[in-house]
Structure 1
Amino acid sequence: MLKTKKVLAIFITATIILFFTGCGNNIHKDTVKNSNSKIRVVVTFNALREFAYAIGKDKIDIETLVPEGTEPHDFEPKVKDMRNISDSKVFIYNGFGMENWVDKTLESIDNKNLIVTNASKGITPIKNGDSNEIKEHGQYDPHIWLSLKNAKIESKNIRDALVKADPLNKSYYEKNFNDFSKKIDALYNSYNEKLKSVPNKSFVTGHAAFAYLCRDYGLEQRSIEDVFASEEPSAKQLKLLTDYCRKNKIKTIFVEEMVSPKISETLASEVNAKVKKIYTIESKEDNKDYLQSMASNLDLIYNSLK
């Protein structure tokens, strides 16, 4: 009897040890899985994806709402887009009227833990001067990411959101942000003195997307279409722009991927200028990242002004 009890006790002890060892292994596996899982991030369009990836890298899984080749101003979210936002941990949008559907969409999202980030927080806006555009799109020019200075602010806001969502990897996000900031500063500084030295400060684009870049460097843009590329210029406006180009000896007319090049090509022909592509970074273009696209833009603008 005593021997039987002893065997039974050994069996129970062994069972308990196996149970807790098994649980420990499962807990360890779950912990490893959770620590290695990626933060789900939804952004509205490509420029924000560039910033989020620069900071989050392999710690995040990014979904971009606006399809490649689609103008973000004209995008309207579908049911699947709202589901993507609801299922995410972090939602990042540009602000300043770029996504005029955001407020209404967020009201319908059932995710109390969703971290919503307005990337424009802390940026001084440039007011929209067209009363018709203000009614439709809001009072501010939203193209803030085309300024290197603003890109740092947007990236900082994104960093803060990722740290809030994933505090265990705070140092990782901060390091990536600091590395990215240094690259932005280096690019900004490499053109600051160059652009100060050019006698001509004006360039002409397909649509008025570069006001914040101009503010950074003391430049001026003239454009064929308005801030939101919503309508073609009148004959009178085109005549004034043609005269301006001739008077200021404009050598290059810049055109963007999502704006029709026809008027730009006609204008260039009239004033004996070249047509060259400039990046708005609203979509991924020519497989260039943000810094490569901005370096190309600054180089083109600088050479057109020399």
Structure 2
Amino acid sequence: MKKVVLVLLLVAVLMLSAACNKNAENVSGKKIVYTTIYPLYDFTQKIAGNKLSVKNIIPPGVEPHEWEPTTKNVAEMSNASLVLYIGLDLDSWAVKAQNGSQTKFINVSKGVPLIKEGNAINPHIWLSPSRAIIIARNIKDALISIDNKNKAYYEKNYENIKNQLQKLNKDYSEELKNTSKKSFIVYHSAFDYLAQDYGLKQISLTGLSDEQEPSPSRVAYVMDYIKKNKIKYIFTEPLTSPKAIKTIAADTHVQVLPLNTIEGLTQSEIKEGKDYFSLMRENLNNLKKALE
């Protein structure tokens, strides 16, 4: 019932604001682009440069799986020229928000090879650098669709990101191919794409959402797996602090390392100037340490 009310609210606010949306611009005269999660924000900001005003709708430090927009958020999106979302049930509120809106909504996961987990699709496609190239290309095309006069500028910036992602992919491939271990333990199964790309095996306590609680049988299985395979490290995520990881670490005498899903940045990460690329390289370093 709560979600039905939310959908009706989204539609009402967007319809009321539609008349103001024909040439949505901020006070600097730049068109406004909203993104739903941090990886899209980072790529969009890098491609848009100083030509557009790019904003992320989810605030820093907030885990996006269960986040829902407020009426203020909906009104802000309705006054934008473009909203970029990932789809795949991660930001389903954005899909619903399209109804009755004159704002252009574009799903940037189009064309990305996907992995199914049961009846659901894993949405964490940005953790695969090769798939992130497709996301960045879709973002570039979306920006051109609302600002064609700066097409060459966006294409040049996209090529820069593409080159960085290709280098990142190469570094992951080279540095993970000869590790002595191939399995790693995480809280929720966000790293399927990364594991598939580099011949690794992800062992997770829960499914696709980190809001789930692991079953006692799953915890027992993971603890047994750690002991049998002589695992030395398990991974936690900066936006969540699951007790199960700490309990397992204490009971099995393993160390805990961060492995960032990059779904969102914390305030401290923002202050330190971190971005998608620096966090992906931190992930690579921690994976190498855990798998050596």
TM-score (norm 2): 0.85
The structure, 1 or 2, with the larger RCO (C-alpha pairs under 8 Å, 6+ apart) is 2
- Equivalent residue for 2:115? 126
- Equivalent residue for 2:281? 295
After the TM superposition, which residues 188-207 of structure 1 pair with which residues of structure 2 at under 5 Å, given as runs? Answer: 188-207=169-188
Q: Secondary structure at the match of 1:150?
A: helix
Confirm or deny: 8 A CA contact 1:152 1:181 kept in the other structure.
yes
AA in 2 matched with 1:116: F
- Paired with 1:193 and 1:281, the residues of 2 have a C-alpha distance of 22
Structure 1: gaps (5+ residues): 1-32
- Paired with 1:271 and 1:256, the residues of 2 have a C-alpha distance of 19
- Paired with 1:230 and 1:262, the residues of 2 have a C-alpha distance of 12
- Return the match for 1:117 from 106, 109, 116: 106
Deviation at 1:146, TM superposition (A): 1.1
AA in 1 matched with 2:109: S
Q: Secondary structure at the match of 1:92?
A: strand
Deviation digits for residues 146-179 of structure 1 (CA, Å, limit 9, x no counterpart)? 1111111111000001111111111110110101
Deviation at 1:191, TM superposition (A): 2.2
AA in 2 matched with 1:119: V
AA in 1 matched with 2:55: E
Given the alignment of the two structures, is residue 175 of structure 1 paired with residue 156 of structure 2, yes or no?
yes
- Paired with 2:212 and 2:71, the residues of 1 have a C-alpha distance of 29
- Paired with 1:300 and 1:60, the residues of 2 have a C-alpha distance of 35
Deviation at 1:283, TM superposition (A): 1.4
Q: Secondary structure at the match of 1:42?
A: strand
Deviation at 1:115, TM superposition (A): 2.7
AA in 2 matched with 1:78: T
Given the alignment of the two structures, is residue 48 of structure 1 paired with residue 40 of structure 2, yes or no?
yes
- Paired with 1:227 and 1:91, the residues of 2 have a C-alpha distance of 24
- Paired with 1:105 and 1:161, the residues of 2 have a C-alpha distance of 18
Deviation at 1:245, TM superposition (A): 0.8
Q: Which runs of 4+ in 1 moved over 3 A?
A: none
Confirm or deny: 8 A CA contact 1:246 1:271 kept in the other structure.
yes
- Equivalent residue for 1:88? 80
- Equivalent residue for 2:8? none
- Equivalent residue for 1:257? 238
Q: Secondary structure at the match of 2:248?
A: helix
Point out the structure with the larger helix share.
Answer: 1
Given the alignment of the two structures, is residue 305 of structure 1 paired with residue 281 of structure 2, yes or no?
no
Q: Secondary structure at the match of 2:32?
A: strand
- Paired with 2:80 and 2:33, the residues of 1 have a C-alpha distance of 6
- Paired with 2:144 and 2:256, the residues of 1 have a C-alpha distance of 43
Confirm or deny: 8 A CA contact 1:207 1:259 kept in the other structure.
no
Structure 2: gaps (5+ residues): 1-24
AA in 2 matched with 1:223: S
After the TM superposition, which residues 1-306 of structure 1 pair with which residues of structure 2 at under 5 Å, given as runs? Answer: 37-109=29-101, 111=102, 114-129=103-118, 134=119, 139-285=120-266, 286-287=269-270, 288-306=274-292
AA in 2 matched with 1:207: H
Confirm or deny: 8 A CA contact 1:90 1:116 kept in the other structure.
yes
Q: Which has the larger radius of gyration?
A: 1
Identity of aligned residues (%): 37
Deviation at 1:100, TM superposition (A): 1.7
- Paired with 1:103 and 1:115, the residues of 2 have a C-alpha distance of 11
- Equivalent residue for 1:21? none
Q: Secondary structure at the match of 2:190?
A: coil
